[in-house]
Chains A and B, each alone.
Chain A
Amino acid sequence: MTDEGNGQNRESPKEPAREGSVGLMEPPVATTKGDGPPINGALLLRAGSLMGFVLVIAYFALVAPGFLSVGNITNVLEQSAILGVLSFGMTIVMIAGGSNVITGGIDLSIANNLGLSAAVYAILLKTGQPDIVALSLTLLTGLAVGLLNAIAVVSIGILPLIATLTVMNICAGFELVITQNTVLQASSPLLAVLAGDGPFGIATLAYLLLIIGLILIAVIEYTPFGLRLYAVGGFREAALAAGLSVNRYIATSYILSGICASIGAVLSVALLSGSSTGSGDMLLSVVVTALLGVVFSRRLVPTISGSLLSVLFIGFLINGFQLTNISSYWVNGVEGLLILFAVATTSLVRRREA
Protein backbone atom coordinates (compact mmCIF):
# COMPACT_ATOMS: atom_id res chain seq x y z
CA MET A 1 0.00 0.00 0.00
CA THR A 2 2.79 2.38 0.79
CA ASP A 3 4.25 2.07 -2.62
CA GLU A 4 0.91 2.84 -4.11
CA GLY A 5 1.34 6.32 -2.74
CA ASN A 6 4.56 6.63 -4.62
CA GLY A 7 2.90 5.35 -7.72
CA GLN A 8 0.36 8.10 -7.56
CA ASN A 9 2.99 10.72 -7.05
CA ARG A 10 4.55 9.67 -10.26
CA GLU A 11 1.32 9.89 -12.14
CA SER A 12 1.51 11.56 -15.45
CA PRO A 13 -0.18 14.90 -15.81
CA LYS A 14 -1.77 13.41 -18.91
CA GLU A 15 -3.72 11.03 -16.78
CA PRO A 16 -6.95 12.62 -15.65
CA ALA A 17 -7.86 12.60 -11.99
CA ARG A 18 -9.89 9.56 -11.12
CA GLU A 19 -12.90 11.54 -10.30
CA GLY A 20 -15.25 9.07 -11.84
CA SER A 21 -14.41 6.36 -9.39
CA VAL A 22 -17.66 6.83 -7.54
CA GLY A 23 -20.69 5.77 -9.42
CA LEU A 24 -23.35 3.21 -9.89
CA MET A 25 -21.85 -0.04 -10.97
CA GLU A 26 -19.17 1.95 -12.62
CA PRO A 27 -16.14 0.14 -13.85
CA PRO A 28 -13.68 -0.21 -11.05
CA VAL A 29 -10.65 1.92 -11.29
CA ALA A 30 -7.60 -0.17 -11.54
CA THR A 31 -4.45 1.34 -10.21
CA THR A 32 -2.13 2.12 -13.01
CA LYS A 33 1.21 2.33 -11.36
CA GLY A 34 4.25 3.99 -12.66
CA ASP A 35 2.80 5.23 -15.88
CA GLY A 36 4.37 8.49 -15.10
CA PRO A 37 6.59 10.64 -17.18
CA PRO A 38 9.83 8.77 -17.58
CA ILE A 39 12.35 10.05 -15.09
CA ASN A 40 14.58 9.09 -17.92
CA GLY A 41 16.86 6.88 -15.97
CA ALA A 42 17.69 5.20 -19.27
CA LEU A 43 19.10 8.41 -20.69
CA LEU A 44 21.08 9.07 -17.52
CA LEU A 45 22.41 5.54 -17.52
CA ARG A 46 23.46 5.76 -21.14
CA ALA A 47 25.13 9.13 -20.67
CA GLY A 48 26.83 7.89 -17.49
CA SER A 49 28.10 4.73 -19.15
CA LEU A 50 29.50 6.59 -22.14
CA MET A 51 31.09 9.05 -19.74
CA GLY A 52 32.62 6.16 -17.78
CA PHE A 53 33.96 4.70 -21.03
CA VAL A 54 35.53 8.04 -21.99
CA LEU A 55 36.97 8.60 -18.50
CA VAL A 56 38.62 5.17 -18.44
CA ILE A 57 40.18 5.81 -21.85
CA ALA A 58 41.23 9.32 -20.83
CA TYR A 59 42.85 7.96 -17.67
CA PHE A 60 44.88 5.35 -19.52
CA ALA A 61 45.76 7.90 -22.22
CA LEU A 62 47.29 10.06 -19.50
CA VAL A 63 49.15 7.40 -17.54
CA ALA A 64 50.08 4.94 -20.30
CA PRO A 65 52.25 6.38 -23.04
CA GLY A 66 51.22 5.24 -26.48
CA PHE A 67 47.75 4.11 -25.36
CA LEU A 68 46.01 6.17 -28.01
CA SER A 69 48.54 5.51 -30.77
CA VAL A 70 47.14 4.05 -34.00
CA GLY A 71 49.23 0.96 -33.47
CA ASN A 72 47.82 0.34 -30.02
CA ILE A 73 44.22 1.02 -31.04
CA THR A 74 44.40 -1.43 -33.94
CA ASN A 75 46.06 -3.86 -31.58
CA VAL A 76 43.04 -3.59 -29.24
CA LEU A 77 40.67 -4.02 -32.19
CA GLU A 78 42.55 -7.11 -33.34
CA GLN A 79 42.59 -8.61 -29.84
CA SER A 80 38.86 -7.85 -29.44
CA ALA A 81 37.74 -9.40 -32.73
CA ILE A 82 37.04 -12.89 -31.37
CA LEU A 83 35.28 -11.69 -28.24
CA GLY A 84 33.35 -9.25 -30.40
CA VAL A 85 31.99 -11.85 -32.80
CA LEU A 86 30.94 -14.10 -29.91
CA SER A 87 29.35 -11.15 -28.18
CA PHE A 88 27.29 -10.41 -31.30
CA GLY A 89 25.98 -13.97 -31.28
CA MET A 90 25.09 -13.78 -27.60
CA THR A 91 23.39 -10.44 -28.17
CA ILE A 92 21.17 -11.85 -30.92
CA VAL A 93 20.09 -14.69 -28.63
CA MET A 94 19.36 -12.24 -25.82
CA ILE A 95 17.34 -10.02 -28.14
CA ALA A 96 15.08 -12.85 -29.27
CA GLY A 97 14.93 -14.56 -25.88
CA GLY A 98 13.96 -11.56 -23.80
CA SER A 99 15.61 -9.98 -20.82
CA ASN A 100 14.36 -12.24 -18.05
CA VAL A 101 17.49 -13.40 -16.27
CA ILE A 102 16.11 -16.85 -15.52
CA THR A 103 13.95 -17.69 -18.51
CA GLY A 104 15.37 -15.27 -21.08
CA GLY A 105 17.58 -16.09 -24.02
CA ILE A 106 21.20 -16.97 -23.34
CA ASP A 107 23.70 -19.16 -25.17
CA LEU A 108 26.14 -20.59 -22.66
CA SER A 109 27.53 -22.98 -25.28
CA ILE A 110 28.88 -20.19 -27.45
CA ALA A 111 32.48 -20.18 -26.14
CA ASN A 112 32.82 -23.96 -26.21
CA ASN A 113 31.21 -24.00 -29.63
CA LEU A 114 34.11 -21.80 -30.69
CA GLY A 115 36.52 -24.30 -29.17
CA LEU A 116 34.89 -27.20 -30.98
CA SER A 117 34.68 -25.36 -34.30
CA ALA A 118 38.32 -24.27 -34.00
CA ALA A 119 39.33 -27.89 -33.35
CA VAL A 120 37.35 -29.01 -36.40
CA TYR A 121 38.96 -26.32 -38.52
CA ALA A 122 42.47 -27.11 -37.32
CA ILE A 123 42.16 -30.88 -37.73
CA LEU A 124 40.73 -30.51 -41.23
CA LEU A 125 43.62 -28.28 -42.28
CA LYS A 126 46.07 -30.66 -40.64
CA THR A 127 44.68 -33.56 -42.65
CA GLY A 128 45.29 -31.56 -45.78
CA GLN A 129 41.79 -30.36 -46.65
CA PRO A 130 41.70 -27.24 -48.80
CA ASP A 131 40.57 -24.01 -47.15
CA ILE A 132 37.15 -24.00 -48.78
CA VAL A 133 36.24 -27.44 -47.47
CA ALA A 134 37.65 -26.78 -44.01
CA LEU A 135 35.92 -23.42 -43.78
CA SER A 136 32.52 -24.72 -44.87
CA LEU A 137 32.66 -27.69 -42.51
CA THR A 138 33.69 -25.39 -39.66
CA LEU A 139 30.78 -23.04 -40.27
CA LEU A 140 28.55 -26.10 -40.55
CA THR A 141 29.78 -27.30 -37.16
CA GLY A 142 28.88 -23.99 -35.52
CA LEU A 143 25.51 -24.04 -37.26
CA ALA A 144 24.85 -27.60 -36.10
CA VAL A 145 25.56 -26.67 -32.49
CA GLY A 146 23.24 -23.68 -32.86
CA LEU A 147 20.60 -25.98 -34.33
CA LEU A 148 20.99 -28.33 -31.37
CA ASN A 149 20.42 -25.39 -29.01
CA ALA A 150 17.40 -24.33 -31.05
CA ILE A 151 15.89 -27.81 -30.91
CA ALA A 152 16.49 -28.07 -27.16
CA VAL A 153 15.02 -24.65 -26.43
CA VAL A 154 12.24 -24.36 -29.00
CA SER A 155 11.11 -27.88 -29.86
CA ILE A 156 11.72 -29.56 -26.52
CA GLY A 157 11.09 -26.44 -24.46
CA ILE A 158 14.04 -26.65 -22.06
CA LEU A 159 15.01 -23.40 -20.34
CA PRO A 160 17.77 -21.78 -22.42
CA LEU A 161 20.02 -21.58 -19.36
CA ILE A 162 19.87 -25.36 -18.89
CA ALA A 163 19.66 -26.32 -22.55
CA THR A 164 22.73 -24.38 -23.61
CA LEU A 165 24.63 -25.45 -20.48
CA THR A 166 24.14 -29.03 -21.58
CA VAL A 167 25.16 -28.28 -25.15
CA MET A 168 28.18 -26.46 -23.74
CA ASN A 169 29.31 -29.71 -22.17
CA ILE A 170 28.69 -31.64 -25.34
CA CYS A 171 30.88 -29.17 -27.25
CA ALA A 172 33.63 -29.36 -24.63
CA GLY A 173 33.55 -33.14 -24.82
CA PHE A 174 33.77 -33.31 -28.60
CA GLU A 175 36.56 -30.77 -28.60
CA LEU A 176 38.57 -32.96 -26.22
CA VAL A 177 37.91 -36.00 -28.39
CA ILE A 178 39.25 -34.20 -31.47
CA THR A 179 42.21 -32.45 -29.90
CA GLN A 180 43.11 -34.90 -27.12
CA ASN A 181 43.49 -31.72 -25.08
CA THR A 182 46.45 -30.53 -27.10
CA VAL A 183 47.05 -27.51 -29.30
CA LEU A 184 46.62 -28.35 -33.00
CA GLN A 185 48.88 -26.23 -35.18
CA ALA A 186 47.30 -25.16 -38.43
CA SER A 187 48.23 -23.02 -41.38
CA SER A 188 46.66 -22.24 -44.72
CA PRO A 189 46.60 -19.42 -47.26
CA LEU A 190 43.37 -18.07 -45.77
CA LEU A 191 44.84 -18.07 -42.29
CA ALA A 192 47.88 -16.21 -43.55
CA VAL A 193 45.63 -13.47 -44.95
CA LEU A 194 43.52 -13.29 -41.78
CA ALA A 195 46.52 -13.16 -39.49
CA GLY A 196 48.24 -10.49 -41.58
CA ASP A 197 47.66 -6.84 -42.13
CA GLY A 198 45.10 -5.27 -44.41
CA PRO A 199 45.21 -1.82 -46.03
CA PHE A 200 47.11 0.94 -44.18
CA GLY A 201 49.00 -1.69 -42.23
CA ILE A 202 46.03 -2.33 -39.98
CA ALA A 203 45.37 -5.93 -38.89
CA THR A 204 42.82 -7.83 -40.98
CA LEU A 205 41.08 -9.02 -37.83
CA ALA A 206 40.47 -5.40 -36.80
CA TYR A 207 38.79 -4.77 -40.16
CA LEU A 208 36.77 -7.96 -39.84
CA LEU A 209 35.46 -6.99 -36.38
CA LEU A 210 34.22 -3.68 -37.73
CA ILE A 211 32.81 -5.16 -40.95
CA ILE A 212 30.95 -7.99 -39.23
CA GLY A 213 29.76 -5.51 -36.61
CA LEU A 214 28.42 -3.12 -39.24
CA ILE A 215 26.68 -5.90 -41.19
CA LEU A 216 24.98 -7.19 -38.05
CA ILE A 217 24.04 -3.68 -36.91
CA ALA A 218 22.35 -3.21 -40.29
CA VAL A 219 20.55 -6.56 -40.14
CA ILE A 220 19.51 -6.50 -36.49
CA GLU A 221 18.82 -2.83 -35.94
CA TYR A 222 17.60 -1.67 -39.33
CA THR A 223 15.56 -4.45 -40.94
CA PRO A 224 12.07 -5.83 -40.30
CA PHE A 225 13.74 -9.12 -39.36
CA GLY A 226 15.62 -7.39 -36.55
CA LEU A 227 12.52 -5.53 -35.36
CA ARG A 228 10.63 -8.80 -35.18
CA LEU A 229 13.43 -10.41 -33.20
CA TYR A 230 13.04 -7.59 -30.69
CA ALA A 231 9.27 -8.07 -30.66
CA VAL A 232 9.62 -11.78 -29.96
CA GLY A 233 11.95 -11.11 -27.05
CA GLY A 234 10.23 -7.99 -25.80
CA PHE A 235 6.66 -9.29 -25.58
CA ARG A 236 6.04 -12.77 -26.88
CA GLU A 237 2.25 -12.46 -26.87
CA ALA A 238 2.41 -9.22 -28.83
CA ALA A 239 4.59 -10.89 -31.43
CA LEU A 240 2.14 -13.79 -31.64
CA ALA A 241 -0.77 -11.38 -31.98
CA ALA A 242 1.10 -9.69 -34.83
CA GLY A 243 1.12 -13.05 -36.62
CA LEU A 244 4.84 -13.76 -36.22
CA SER A 245 6.02 -17.34 -35.90
CA VAL A 246 7.75 -16.74 -32.62
CA ASN A 247 9.48 -20.11 -32.45
CA ARG A 248 11.10 -19.67 -35.81
CA TYR A 249 12.66 -16.38 -34.73
CA ILE A 250 13.98 -17.82 -31.48
CA ALA A 251 15.43 -20.84 -33.31
CA THR A 252 17.05 -18.52 -35.86
CA SER A 253 18.71 -16.57 -33.06
CA TYR A 254 20.43 -19.70 -31.72
CA ILE A 255 21.53 -20.73 -35.19
CA LEU A 256 22.98 -17.26 -35.85
CA SER A 257 24.75 -17.47 -32.53
CA GLY A 258 26.24 -20.83 -33.53
CA ILE A 259 27.45 -19.37 -36.83
CA CYS A 260 29.01 -16.45 -34.93
CA ALA A 261 30.83 -18.97 -32.75
CA SER A 262 32.32 -20.73 -35.78
CA ILE A 263 33.33 -17.43 -37.40
CA GLY A 264 35.00 -16.61 -34.09
CA ALA A 265 36.71 -20.01 -34.31
CA VAL A 266 38.22 -19.20 -37.71
CA LEU A 267 39.47 -15.85 -36.40
CA SER A 268 40.87 -17.57 -33.32
CA VAL A 269 42.75 -20.18 -35.35
CA ALA A 270 44.17 -17.34 -37.44
CA LEU A 271 45.25 -15.32 -34.41
CA LEU A 272 46.79 -18.24 -32.53
CA SER A 273 47.91 -20.22 -35.64
CA GLY A 274 46.02 -23.24 -34.40
CA SER A 275 43.30 -24.44 -32.10
CA SER A 276 43.79 -23.79 -28.44
CA THR A 277 42.46 -25.26 -25.24
CA GLY A 278 40.43 -23.38 -22.68
CA SER A 279 38.09 -21.53 -25.00
CA GLY A 280 35.35 -21.90 -22.40
CA ASP A 281 37.10 -19.29 -20.25
CA MET A 282 35.79 -16.65 -22.63
CA LEU A 283 32.18 -17.28 -21.65
CA LEU A 284 32.15 -14.79 -18.78
CA SER A 285 33.54 -12.02 -21.01
CA VAL A 286 30.95 -12.77 -23.67
CA VAL A 287 28.12 -12.55 -21.16
CA VAL A 288 29.59 -9.34 -19.69
CA THR A 289 29.84 -7.58 -23.01
CA ALA A 290 26.36 -8.59 -24.18
CA LEU A 291 24.81 -7.47 -20.87
CA LEU A 292 26.89 -4.32 -20.63
CA GLY A 293 25.81 -3.40 -24.14
CA VAL A 294 22.30 -2.92 -22.78
CA VAL A 295 23.27 0.24 -20.91
CA PHE A 296 24.32 1.89 -24.14
CA SER A 297 20.85 1.67 -25.67
CA ARG A 298 18.03 4.17 -25.24
CA ARG A 299 15.48 1.42 -24.65
CA LEU A 300 17.68 -0.65 -22.37
CA VAL A 301 17.68 -3.60 -24.74
CA PRO A 302 20.65 -5.56 -26.06
CA THR A 303 21.99 -4.08 -29.30
CA ILE A 304 24.82 -5.07 -31.60
CA SER A 305 26.25 -1.55 -31.46
CA GLY A 306 26.08 -1.52 -27.67
CA SER A 307 27.83 -4.86 -27.51
CA LEU A 308 30.51 -3.62 -29.90
CA LEU A 309 31.06 -0.61 -27.64
CA SER A 310 31.35 -2.75 -24.53
CA VAL A 311 33.69 -5.20 -26.28
CA LEU A 312 35.94 -2.26 -27.13
CA PHE A 313 35.58 -0.97 -23.57
CA ILE A 314 36.73 -4.28 -22.11
CA GLY A 315 39.47 -4.48 -24.75
CA PHE A 316 40.83 -1.04 -23.88
CA LEU A 317 40.54 -1.85 -20.18
CA ILE A 318 42.64 -5.01 -20.48
CA ASN A 319 45.08 -3.23 -22.75
CA GLY A 320 45.36 -0.36 -20.25
CA PHE A 321 46.03 -2.83 -17.46
CA GLN A 322 48.81 -4.38 -19.48
CA LEU A 323 50.38 -1.03 -20.36
CA THR A 324 50.31 0.15 -16.76
CA ASN A 325 51.58 -3.18 -15.45
CA ILE A 326 48.47 -4.01 -13.47
CA SER A 327 48.13 -7.76 -13.15
CA SER A 328 45.70 -9.17 -15.72
CA TYR A 329 44.33 -11.34 -12.94
CA TRP A 330 42.26 -8.32 -11.98
CA VAL A 331 40.38 -8.51 -15.25
CA ASN A 332 38.06 -11.29 -14.13
CA GLY A 333 37.10 -9.40 -11.02
CA VAL A 334 36.45 -6.23 -12.97
CA GLU A 335 34.31 -8.14 -15.45
CA GLY A 336 32.26 -9.57 -12.60
CA LEU A 337 31.72 -6.08 -11.23
CA LEU A 338 30.65 -4.87 -14.68
CA ILE A 339 28.04 -7.66 -14.92
CA LEU A 340 26.70 -6.62 -11.53
CA PHE A 341 26.68 -3.00 -12.60
CA ALA A 342 24.91 -3.66 -15.91
CA VAL A 343 22.31 -6.04 -14.53
CA ALA A 344 21.64 -4.03 -11.38
CA THR A 345 21.29 -0.65 -13.02
CA THR A 346 19.22 -1.81 -15.95
CA SER A 347 16.84 -3.76 -13.76
CA LEU A 348 16.53 -0.81 -11.40
CA VAL A 349 15.79 1.59 -14.21
CA ARG A 350 13.41 -0.89 -15.83
CA ARG A 351 11.54 -1.46 -12.59
CA ARG A 352 11.07 2.25 -12.17
CA GLU A 353 9.85 2.70 -15.70
CA ALA A 354 7.92 -0.47 -16.25
Chain B
Amino acid sequence: MKDSPTSRYAFNPNSEVRLLSDGSGLAIYDGYSCDTHFIHSKKDQSALPALSTVPQEITPTFLVEEFGMSKLAAQHTIDLLIKQKVLGEIS
Protein backbone atom coordinates (compact mmCIF):
# COMPACT_ATOMS: atom_id res chain seq x y z
CA MET B 1 0.00 0.00 0.00
CA LYS B 2 1.23 3.44 -0.90
CA ASP B 3 0.31 5.05 2.42
CA SER B 4 3.02 5.66 4.92
CA PRO B 5 2.53 4.61 8.54
CA THR B 6 2.05 8.28 9.38
CA SER B 7 -1.02 8.73 7.15
CA ARG B 8 -4.17 9.81 8.98
CA TYR B 9 -7.68 8.75 8.14
CA ALA B 10 -11.15 9.91 9.10
CA PHE B 11 -14.47 8.14 8.99
CA ASN B 12 -16.66 9.27 6.14
CA PRO B 13 -19.10 11.94 7.29
CA ASN B 14 -22.13 9.69 6.87
CA SER B 15 -20.87 7.15 9.30
CA GLU B 16 -21.77 6.56 12.90
CA VAL B 17 -19.04 5.16 15.13
CA ARG B 18 -19.63 3.52 18.50
CA LEU B 19 -17.13 2.59 21.09
CA LEU B 20 -18.16 -0.72 22.59
CA SER B 21 -18.30 -0.23 26.32
CA ASP B 22 -16.26 -3.30 27.24
CA GLY B 23 -13.39 -2.14 25.08
CA SER B 24 -13.83 -4.92 22.54
CA GLY B 25 -13.64 -2.52 19.65
CA LEU B 26 -15.56 -0.16 17.41
CA ALA B 27 -18.82 -0.68 15.55
CA ILE B 28 -19.20 1.52 12.51
CA TYR B 29 -22.38 2.19 10.59
CA ASP B 30 -21.56 3.37 7.10
CA GLY B 31 -24.29 5.70 5.91
CA TYR B 32 -23.06 5.43 2.34
CA SER B 33 -23.44 1.68 1.81
CA CYS B 34 -25.62 1.15 4.94
CA ASP B 35 -23.26 -1.67 5.97
CA THR B 36 -21.92 -2.29 9.48
CA HIS B 37 -18.19 -2.75 10.02
CA PHE B 38 -16.17 -3.59 13.09
CA ILE B 39 -12.67 -2.86 14.28
CA HIS B 40 -11.83 -5.62 16.68
CA SER B 41 -9.53 -4.81 19.57
CA LYS B 42 -6.89 -7.45 20.24
CA LYS B 43 -6.25 -6.16 23.75
CA ASP B 44 -7.23 -8.09 26.81
CA GLN B 45 -10.64 -6.83 27.84
CA SER B 46 -10.23 -7.71 31.48
CA ALA B 47 -8.20 -4.51 31.74
CA LEU B 48 -10.37 -1.40 31.74
CA PRO B 49 -10.83 -0.01 28.23
CA ALA B 50 -8.28 2.67 27.53
CA LEU B 51 -10.53 4.69 25.24
CA SER B 52 -13.36 6.75 26.59
CA THR B 53 -14.42 8.56 23.44
CA VAL B 54 -14.77 7.67 19.80
CA PRO B 55 -11.55 8.52 17.97
CA GLN B 56 -11.86 11.34 15.44
CA GLU B 57 -9.19 9.91 13.24
CA ILE B 58 -7.48 6.59 12.73
CA THR B 59 -3.81 5.97 12.07
CA PRO B 60 -1.93 2.68 11.86
CA THR B 61 -0.08 3.69 15.03
CA PHE B 62 -3.39 4.29 16.82
CA LEU B 63 -4.58 0.79 15.97
CA VAL B 64 -1.31 -0.70 17.13
CA GLU B 65 -1.29 1.19 20.41
CA GLU B 66 -4.94 1.23 21.39
CA PHE B 67 -6.21 -1.97 19.82
CA GLY B 68 -3.11 -4.11 20.18
CA MET B 69 -2.88 -4.90 16.48
CA SER B 70 0.29 -5.85 14.68
CA LYS B 71 1.51 -3.21 12.22
CA LEU B 72 0.56 -5.45 9.35
CA ALA B 73 -2.95 -6.08 10.68
CA ALA B 74 -3.44 -2.37 11.37
CA GLN B 75 -2.50 -1.44 7.82
CA HIS B 76 -4.66 -4.23 6.43
CA THR B 77 -7.69 -3.09 8.46
CA ILE B 78 -7.22 0.46 7.24
CA ASP B 79 -6.78 -0.61 3.62
CA LEU B 80 -9.95 -2.62 3.77
CA LEU B 81 -11.95 0.25 5.25
CA ILE B 82 -10.59 2.64 2.63
CA LYS B 83 -11.61 0.25 -0.11
CA GLN B 84 -15.10 0.11 1.36
CA LYS B 85 -15.07 3.92 1.53
CA VAL B 86 -15.58 3.92 5.28
CA LEU B 87 -12.28 5.70 5.83
CA GLY B 88 -10.78 8.50 3.78
CA GLU B 89 -7.30 9.92 4.01
CA ILE B 90 -6.91 13.31 5.66
CA SER B 91 -4.66 15.47 3.53
| A-B interaction | no
Chain B positions within 8 Å of A, measured between CB atoms, are none
Chain A positions within 8 Å of B, measured between CB atoms, are none
